[in-house]
Structure 1
């Protein structure tokens, strides 16, 4: 059995297919070299919903302590019973006596004798006067009544006469407002370094503050390991240095004194999106 030879048309088609496949591979390789794939890692996004919250509005006119509500002490001895009011009997006028009615005398043809009539007035029917029914007044069972100042105070202190409510507690709204205030004072002084992957660096600065907003001690900085790459490693030291510089430039911080226990020791993250 002999070998089957390709015809001329089949050879042309096979050669054309091979040439087209080689050309397609070359085009794809050139496109990959000219246009490398972009990093599709999603960027982090920081959302702040309390940028313009006023710190002073969270606790208007706070006081250190407020007076407790005071009620008068009940008496141990019962109060004397009250005497019921005396009701005077109401005088009623007697009824007038009825007029006696007389019958006419019979005619002498039927009966010569006449029946004597009773001419005495009947006795008036009168009922004895009854006093009006009255409801007895309730008796005091003892003790004193609650005064008007039972709810006069709003706190639990017995050393002050101030009745205004004490300072508001530190909740989520106050925390968001304090964070926004600190960010607004740091942002104008923050100048992050530039370079390859420098925008991925995240450094955390820790510092302590006095009550007047000045620094207490020296700020410290550390960079998160998951934000360091081979390209931005030379920028790590500069990133921390500029973060500490931003903190020193923002001194003195203008923060509410009533929340000093919340911002005396701070720890803040510095990145490209501060």
Structure 2
């Protein structure tokens, strides 16, 4: 369930590391209302996540041999160069809806990927120069929920007469940025340590109405994402309420606590009881597993 899963986003710590240590997951949440401000008739057409000066505990080694031209005539020789690049096979990155503001670690250490099945995985990272780069515009799953939802509407005509095809990952990012309180990423390193000088997100913004314009918005993990509030304002910001829909057959499901709506991050326990002559088969949808209680 989304409500239960989102509570795993953990507790913010005060120290900002320059590393993602083994078995330590992180989230980065960008305040939509504070940071992502678009003019009317504008749309985000690309989002690029970058690890600057990326390093890893594990490296790939490539042996490059160069044969000089003179060696073909009986002279010269062969030059051997060993090239090492960071290995990032263990690093899993997910697009998340409503993560905690700012860059923070989950409480404690994790023994398995806490984001699997929750967010859109970004698995097309490219090592460029000394940076590791993920482009949401190049992450597309034609069978994903958002690709199926938007269909041909994912092709957006721009004011300059051209058009852009929005990938499934970019459509998901736009949905989270437009409807949630935050949008961001989950980082799971597995059992490998990764290091960086900075992590940034750059958004490309173009016009689909009015005079054509193109601009960029850039964010860094050190940016302050806390909501803007008047120091004398003691009112509590309105929190988004969530509803829970349960469907069952040949049995009953008890929800605890039983409420009409739930707050963001609130834990909900579901317990299934099969009718006489039936056995509980398992959960589907946003809940998973075969235990009768989740």
Question: What TM bracket, shorter-length normalisation?
Answer: under 0.3
TM-score normalized by structure 2?
Answer: 0.18
| Larger strand fraction of residues | 2
Q: Which has the larger radius of gyration?
A: 1
* TM-score for the superposition, normalised by structure 1: 0.19
* Larger RCO (CA under 8 A, 6+ residues apart): 2
